[in-house]
Chain A
Amino acid sequence: MTDKTKPILVVEELNVHYDTGKGPAKAVSDVSFSLLPGERLGLIGESGSGKTTMATALMRLTRAPGRIAGGSVKLDGRDILKMSTRELRETRLRDIALIPQGAMSSLNPVMRLEEQMIDAIVAHKPGMRRAELDARVQELLKNVGLAPEVARRYPHELSGGMKQRAAMAIATSLSPKVIVADEPTSALDVVVQRQVMQTLGRLQDGLGAAVVLIGHDMGLIAQFADTVGVMYAGKLVEIGPVRQMIESPKHPYTRLLVDSLPGIEVKRELTGIPGLPPPLVDLPPGCSFNPRCPLAFDRCVRETPLLQEVAPGQSAACHLYPEHAALPPLPPMTRAHQELRP
């Protein structure tokens, strides 16, 4: 029985760099967090914030020109980044599994679904008999809400939502302790998206697994996660319990992310976030968000803020704290603010 109060996944000072002609692009920079069994962490960020790099690094699937430049990813006390190839092969899927972005294209198009599922299971449990395997396939399909006959189908015979469920069935086939889901619903319609997320939640509850859900939609993250982490230019800039993150975010970037989703109650001016994330090979000095931040002041340009506790369980990397108790109101944005800098 796993101890529910002892973190199952501990990430410390994780750094992932992409080597480029202009020097290393720090796609993940000194990121630390931990996850309790059964916890749901949502990691949110814009394109290029390092969130997918983060997901692949957690699985140690980083490929050149990317490389893990430091830190540790401890799963139940064992550092995935230091495992032998054999240990790693045994650990993936059994202890930590990935539901990749666009899972629809991660399925093998020339294999029936059941063969792909059996392949994954047999790689870890070579002794299983065919009858047991068939029973397991049926159970897994049932868990994700797919009919038994789907086992005999090829990927092209499945809809997008069904393929995403199939990828989930494979990811959970060995009852992992941690599931990493990288934008699992980004190509799906809202109704299917809701079905898939509910399926993921149900699977996770059944397994008692922890989930890292990666995405760019604050609404979706809010609907699913217990804890929300916000990534910006490779860094974790704020993390805390979902309610606090939505209702009283402390980092100006988190506030802008929440506000960029307009809701369906009152019509209001749509506010995006002015500007673009900085290129990762050429980060601005100080806080990476300072060129876009409506509250930036001189210190933000000089000094990189570190993550500090700003409320119980909530930490933000922002120089407004500890001087301020809460985030000051953001000045209204004008159209000039919204001009993009290519």
Chain B
Amino acid sequence: MSALIEMRGVTKTYGAFTALNDVTLSLSDTSPSMTAVAGESGSGKTTLARMMLGFINPSHGQVLYQGKDVARMTGAEQRQFRREVQPVFQDPFDVFNPFYRIDHVLETPVKRYKLADSDTKARAMIEDALKRVGLRPQDTLGRFPHELSGGQRQRIMVARAVLLRPRLIIADEPVSMVDASLRATILDELKTLNRELGISIVYITHDLTTAFQICDNIMILYRGNVSEAGAVERVIGAPKHPYSQLLVSSIPLPDLSKAWGGEEIPVSEASAARPNPGCKFAPRCPHVMEMCWDNLPPKYVPDSERLATCFLYRDAPVAASDDVASVFRPPNHSITTTAP
């Protein structure tokens, strides 16, 4: 399998602090996927996104885009990479220059990458991109950012990404600042882009509900380490790692039969976590064992389509490959049109 993007043993440290520890993950070049990366603040999910986008370089390991090391690309290769891998950020308020009309943020990439040879053609491309995210061009173009809602601005950012016909969109918490009622619509649009344009999507989030709904697979990070990964039906539907279990049980569902239990969750954040070379979740883990403090658990495969880095599953086989995606479920939808 050739990889669209591949993280090979990637570690990022800031001084003594390890933001991301030894992550290997490859996303297929041939079948467009939707992969969620989840975890709490400080889990390393944004660090991972920034390395995939080439904004920062790994301290160890490599990020490869179509086999080329992102940190060592030639000018031309980097230009192509910058076009084909597009970000959508969390804050739909900060990314706009309030003095420019919305058109500016859409026209700039068209000019920069010379996507159109005439103004008419450029306009048509922009209108098509807006329609793809459910915005009406006549109601959107010519407006200033403050005239649009947060949800609409976020759609503009998706439209900007679409305009470039990317191969990969890295969406870092794209809906966490948008009302619950609008989230569904924006995420549905990402899913449509994946299906209709064959764009692979990495969806960085702390919201497991939406990850379950739109993604094929998920990777859960805890303090820089992969704690569990695999098909969303496995990892979110029946989590194995105690951290994933805690996350899933904390989702506030609008379903009274799934009320939060009355059990108190230990407030670990109040006490400085004891530094340990072993499992980072050990200080909070209800099932912690003596071995957890000194050794980092390997990637056990307790059942198909998932891995869990937890000694509770030490009787299960260890994953044959370092690549987290080796346990992923292949995307099960067919692509109606292929990317150009």
Contacts and interface: CB of A to CB of B under 8 A. Distances in A.
A242 interface: yes
Residue among A192, A272, A342 with max Cβ neighbours from chain B (10 Å)? A272
A46 B185 CA distance: 14
Contact of B180 (A193, A257, A340): A257
B181 interface: yes
Given A257-B180, A270-B214, A342-B152, A220 B252 contact: yes
Contact of B40 (A192, A220, A270): A192
B116 interface: no
B265 A191 contact: yes
A160 interface: yes
Nearest to A262: B213
Contacts of A46: 179, 181-182
Contact of B184 (A243, A262, A335): A262
Interface string A189-201: 1111111011000
Interface in B119-160: 134-136, 139-140, 143, 147-152, 155
Given A145-B270, A342-B139, A223 B212 contact: no
Nearest to B270: A147
A264 interface: yes
Nearest to A150: B270
Residue among A193, A217, A243, A262 with max Cβ neighbours from chain B (10 Å)? A262
Interface stretch (B6-14, B48-56, B254-262, B306-314): B254-262
Contacts of B210: 262, 270
B252 A194 contact: yes
Contact of B181 (A273, A335, A339): A273
Interface residues of A, number: 55
Residue among B41, B188, B252, B262 with max Cβ neighbours from chain A (10 Å)? B252
B180 A264 contact: no
A270 B184 contact: yes
Contact of A191 (B180, B246, B255): B246
B255 A272 contact: no
Interface residues of B, number: 55
B180 A263 contact: no
A249 to B, nearest CB: 10
A108 interface: no
Contacts of A248: none
A220 B148 CA distance: 27
B247 A223 contact: no
A75 B63 CA distance: 61
Nearest to A190: B250
A26 B152 CA distance: 23
29 contacts: A46-B182, A147-B271, A160-B41, A190-B40, A190-B247, A192-B269, A193-B250, A193-B252, A198-B262, A216-B179, A217-B252, A218-B180, A220-B252, A222-B253, A222-B255, A257-B180, A261-B254, A264-B236, A264-B248, A265-B237, A267-B213, A270-B184, A270-B210, A272-B182, A276-B151, A339-B134, A339-B136, A341-B139, A342-B135
